[in-house]
Every structure is written in C-alpha cells, then in structure tokens.
C-alpha cells in the first residue's frame, strides 16, 4: 500500500516515474517523512504573502529578497541552497525543478548596480554546488540536466586602464542564454555573452567562452565544437 501511495504521488510530478519494487518499507517511510518536512518548511513563505505551491525546502535553505522570487510547482531546493533575488527583474524557477545542495543562485550582490534576472525553465535538474549569477541576465531552457559545480558568470570586469585598480573600472554585462534540452557535465563554466543552442552536450570541465550552435557536442578549455549530434544520425 505504501509503495502504491508514494508511486501515485510521484507520478503526479513525473508520469513516467516508477518506484523500484525492491525498496524496503523503511526506506519508503524515510522518504515520505523527509519530503513531508521539506514541504512544511515552505510555509515560511506565508510571512512574505506568498503561497507555497508544492515547494520543498531542504535544511538550511536561505532566501533573500523573497518578494522577487517566483516558484513553479514541484520545486525542490535541497539542503543549504541560497537564493538571492536582488535584481531589476525576478528570479524565476519553473515547474519540476531540482536545485542541488549547497548551490547559490544570486542575481546580484550590488546595491548600487543591481543585476538583471535569472530564469530557470521547467523540468531542469541542477547538480550540487552550482553558482549561477544574473548580472547581465541568465536563462536556462526547459529540460536541461546539469552536473555538479556548474558556474555561470554573465558579467565581466573592465581592466583596460593599468593605472587604475580593476575593482574601480566597472563591469560589462551581456548575459548568458542556455537553450532547452541540454546536458551539461560536471564543473562546466559559462562566461558572459555566451549563447548555447538547444540540445547541446557540454563535456565535463569545459569552459565555454563563445556561442555554440544547437545540437553540438562541446568540449575543451576554451570549449569548441567537436561533433554534431545531427551528424551522428547521418541527417
């Protein structure tokens, strides 16, 4: 009965999901209790006049500028995730998004020059220890699966004047756009001004410094296209 109950609940989020029949009752009870506590933590949003909509918060989750955060349904923020929505526009997290433990999603830390926005689409899975900035704007498309330690930096420091400290020379901001249905490996870094097309595969450890066409397989430092997913099928 417990197996069927949990399976039914999870299928409301992901219709194709099926629990392993060999999972013990104690494992399932632990899962149910843990998720229940995570859901109860989301009711803190009521203090900010926001209604939690199937939001699950792990231990130690921190939210700053809560009024500027928009959550979809079935969002999971795992332990010690930090969201800061100080920006010109909202920090938007779509439906069925999972953000791994210890990740930091920060539009901006500047009160005199706030960043733009961060928009994460539906059905995105983000691994642990990610850092996503939103200085020039960051978009991650629907259906992306992302490994641990992703870092996105949509902002660059100006350093043209050797006589002036770099910290006083300001920044440029172009933004980052990651298309839908991408697979991004562990420890990938994406720099400002980059657009990654739909369906790209980015190898672990890559540093992406320029635009990548859709359905590209990308690797290297700096990253380059090494193959096309379309060519693999002879299309």
Active site residues: 157
In the chain, the N- to C-terminal Cα span, in Å, equals 48
Using the 8-state DSSP alphabet, how is residue 124 labeled? -
Phi and psi dihedrals of 178, rounded to 5? -110, 125
Task: Give the C-alpha distances (Å, rounded to integers) separating 158 from 39, 164, 170, 191, 222.
Answer: 44, 10, 6, 14, 20
Q: Is 42 helix (H, G, I), strand (E, B) or coil?
A: helix
- CA-to-CA distance for 216 and 228, rounded, in angstroms? 5
């Amino acid at each position: 009965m417990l197996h069927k109950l949990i399976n039914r609940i999870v299928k409301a989020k992901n219709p194709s999901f099926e629990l392993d029949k060999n999972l013990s009752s104690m494992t399932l009870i632990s899962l149910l209790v843990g998720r229940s506590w995570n859901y109860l933590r989301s009711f803190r949003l009521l203090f900010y006049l926001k209604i939690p909509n199937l939001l699950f918060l792990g231990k130690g989750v921190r939210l700053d500028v809560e009024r500027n955060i928009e959550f979809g349904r079935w969002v999971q923020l795992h332990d010690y995730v930090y969201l800061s929505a100080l920006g010109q526009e909202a920090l938007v997290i779509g439906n069925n998004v999972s953000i791994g433990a210890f990740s930091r999603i920060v539009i901006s830390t500047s009160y005199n020059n706030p960043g733009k926005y961060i928009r994460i689409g539906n059905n995105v899975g983000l691994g642990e220890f990610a850092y996503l900035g939103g200085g020039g704007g960051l978009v991650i498309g629907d259906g992306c699966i992302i490994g641990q330690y992703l870092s996105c930096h949509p902002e660059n420091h100006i350093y043209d004047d050797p006589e002036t400290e770099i910290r006083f020379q300001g920044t440029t901001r172009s933004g980052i756009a990651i298309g839908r249905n991408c697979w991004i490996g562990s420890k990938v870094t994406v720099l400002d001004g980059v657009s990654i097309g739909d369906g790209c595969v980015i190898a672990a450890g890559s540093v992406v410094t320029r635009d990548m066409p859709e359905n590209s397989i990308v690797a290297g430092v700096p990253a380059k296209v090494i193959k096309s997913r379309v060519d693999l099928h002879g299309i």
